[in-house]
């Protein structure tokens, strides 16, 4: 008995595991370039959020049709990949359909379910390709989606279609060989969907059928392993990161903005209020706001890597809807791209964060930041609880407090709020003087 196929399989498995492990370490290091932040409070609420939003896809169903199609792909991806366990064991042990003799009719029922889900995935992927490339849903045609982002989305859909066709073709040729009495193949009963493909292969020789069946088996398992590696370079990394990302969601009310501890402590000390500030202040004063990714929290960078690029945030953004340059999706894509750039520079022995570039200016402009209304529509719309607004606010804080670069109208408003406690320039004592000029209307009997 030749062990060459098993050796080849183990080599493919080891290479995929090595590349995947290296990439995971790269991603972890990039995410941790951000500042420390603790998000482990309210564990019960976090479990509930993760189960409902990531696993249950609760927020996806605000748009039912794409949500239903996405659910078919999601369920198909999870359930069909249970068969990968058998593929791996068959590859290592040199067996064929290891679980079939053990499970009997249950195995046949399971394969039929897998095939049904494969057809559902095929249908959904075709519809999504049509939506992206023929009907051209507006949120998929924004400027930030040109080039690689559009190609990436189409590649994933095409790859999924090819992988599903490989499963159906493998099962169809497998059962033809069973019918011809090949002792190496196991009778499974009726496999409904793959049986529809059998007429395409009936006229082929046994050798040709064996080649096709083995080729599709190898293609599927190698494709799954390659897909797992590719996903870590793709927007589809959200398949894995959606779960931790929703766990670390911001559980505070969406209208509540996080104060800067440095500023809060300074104000409290001026007012004589006890603070939590350390007795010995740091030798170097921290930066106010964020200029680059290391000024953001690691949760912000995790958000960026979890972005699905679905564009729901941008399609709900009032600034974007009125023609402003701001796109919350682009903000997240820019943060991820900057993290990738810095990470690659560090790995190559380069300057890393000291490369003369920064997130502000080289990736995100002040015009984009100033267009934000802080309405939280993007946060509410995101199906995996990404928070673009927190990044925008931190960068606007840097512009205001480090560069004094806010628009003149904003500076006047800030000054009025500091001196008059309102955006308008008049004394707080005169705030309700306008009421004196309002005559009481007679109330009719």
User: Domain with 360 in it: what CATH number?
Assistant: 1.10.1060.10
Domain end (from 247, 262, 278):
247
Evaluate whether residue 438 is within a structural domain: no
Evaluate whether residue 107 is within a structural domain: yes
pLDDT of residue 413: 86
List phi, psi (to 5°) of 42: 45, 60
74 and 173 housed in the same domain: yes
235 and 298 housed in the same domain: no
**pTM for the whole structure:** 0.88
Could you tell me which of 246, 376, 382, 238 has the C-alpha nearest to residue 313?
Answer: 382
pLDDT of residue 439: 59
Evaluate whether residue 108 is within a structural domain: yes
229 and 305 housed in the same domain: no
Domain end (from 191, 223, 247):
247
Q: Do residues 169 and 214 touch, judged by C-beta distance below 8 A?
A: no
CA 50, CA 84: separation in Å to the nearest integer? 26
Stretches in the chain below the pLDDT threshold 50:
1
Q: Do residues 174 and 185 touch, judged by C-beta distance below 8 A?
A: yes
Report how many domains make up the chain: 2
74 and 153 housed in the same domain: yes
pLDDT of residue 59: 93
β-bridge mates for residue 35, sequence order: 297
Domain end (from 247, 280, 300):
247
377 and 238 housed in the same domain: no
**Tokens 């896809």 identify what position?**
57
**Neighbour tally for 288: CB within 10 Å:** 18
Angle of helix 328-347 relative to helix 4-31, nearest 10 degrees?
A: 110
197 and 301 housed in the same domain: no
238 and 306 housed in the same domain: no
Torsion sign, CA atoms 61, 62, 64, 69: negative
Range of 388's domain?
288-404
Burial label, 250 (beta-carbon count in 10 A; 0-12, 13-18, 19+): middle
CA 301, CA 336: separation in Å to the nearest integer? 7
242 and 110 housed in the same domain: yes
220 and 314 housed in the same domain: no
DSSP label at residue 37: -
178 and 68 housed in the same domain: yes
Evaluate whether residue 277 is within a structural domain: no
Evaluate whether residue 428 is within a structural domain: no
Could you tell me which of 165, 86, 91 has the C-alpha nearest to residue 121?
Answer: 165
List phi, psi (to 5°) of 340: -65, -45
Evaluate whether residue 377 is within a structural domain: yes
pLDDT of residue 398: 93
85 and 223 housed in the same domain: yes
β-bridge mates for residue 297, sequence order: 35
pLDDT of residue 139: 92
Evaluate whether residue 106 is within a structural domain: yes
- HSE-CB of 191 using CA atoms within 13 angstroms: 30
β-bridge mates for residue 364, sequence order: 360
Evaluate whether residue 41 is within a structural domain: no
237 and 350 housed in the same domain: no
CA 212, CA 306: separation in Å to the nearest integer? 38
């Amino acid at each position: 008995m030749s062990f060459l196929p098993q050796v080849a399989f183990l080599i493919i498995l080891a290479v995929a595991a090595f590349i995947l492990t290296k990439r995971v370490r790269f991603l972890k290091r990039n995410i941790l370039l951000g500042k420390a932040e603790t998000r482990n409070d309210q564990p019960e609420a976090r479990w509930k959020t993760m189960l409902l939003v990531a696993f249950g896809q609760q927020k996806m169903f605000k748009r039912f049709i794409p949500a239903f199609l996405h659910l078919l792909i999601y369920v198909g991806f999870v359930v069909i990949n249970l068969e990968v366990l058998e593929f791996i064991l068959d590859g290592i042990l040199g067996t064929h359909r290891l679980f079939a003799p053990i499970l009997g009719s249950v195995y046949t029922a399971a394969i039929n379910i897998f095939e049904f889900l494969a057809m559902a995935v095929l249908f959904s992927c075709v519809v999504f390709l049509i939506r992206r490339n023929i009907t051209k849903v507006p949120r998929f045609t924004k400027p930030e989606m040109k080039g690689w982002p559009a190609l990436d989305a189409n590649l994933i859909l095409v790859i999924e279609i090819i992988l599903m066709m490989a499963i159906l073709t493998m099962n169809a040729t497998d059962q033809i060989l069973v019918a011809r009495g090949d002792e190496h193949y196991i009778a499974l009963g009726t496999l409904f969907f793959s049986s529809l493909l059998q007429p395409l292969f009936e006229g082929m020789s046994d050798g040709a059928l064996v080649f096709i069946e083995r080729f599709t088996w190898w293609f599927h398992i190698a494709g799954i392993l390659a897909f797992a590696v590719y996903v870590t370079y793709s927007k589809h990394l959200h398949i894995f990161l959606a779960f931790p990302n929703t766990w670390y969601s911001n559980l505070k009310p969406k209208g509540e903005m996080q104060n800067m501890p440095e500023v809060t402590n300074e104000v409290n000390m001026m007012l004589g209020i006890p603070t939590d500030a350390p007795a010995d202040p740091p030798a170097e004063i921290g930066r106010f706001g964020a200029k680059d990714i290391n000024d953001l929290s690691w949760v912000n960078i995790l958000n960026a890597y979890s972005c699905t690029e679905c564009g729901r945030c941008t399609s709900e953004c009032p600034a974007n809807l009125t023609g402003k340059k701001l796109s919350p999706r682009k903000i997240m894509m820019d943060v991820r791209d900057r993290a990738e750039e810095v990470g690659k520079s560090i790995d190559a022995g380069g300057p890393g964060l000291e490369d003369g570039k920064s997130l502000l200016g080289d990736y995100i402009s002040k015009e984009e930041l100033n267009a934000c209304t802080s309405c939280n529509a993007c946060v509410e719309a995101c199906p995996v609880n990404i928070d673009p607004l927190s990044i925008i606010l931190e960068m606007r804080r840097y512009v205001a407090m480090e560069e004094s670069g806010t628009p003149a109208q904003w500076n006047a408003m800030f000054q009025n709020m500091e001196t008059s406690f309102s955006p308008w320039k008049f004394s707080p004592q005169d705030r309700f003087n306008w009421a004196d000029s309002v005559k009481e209307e007679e109330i009719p009997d």
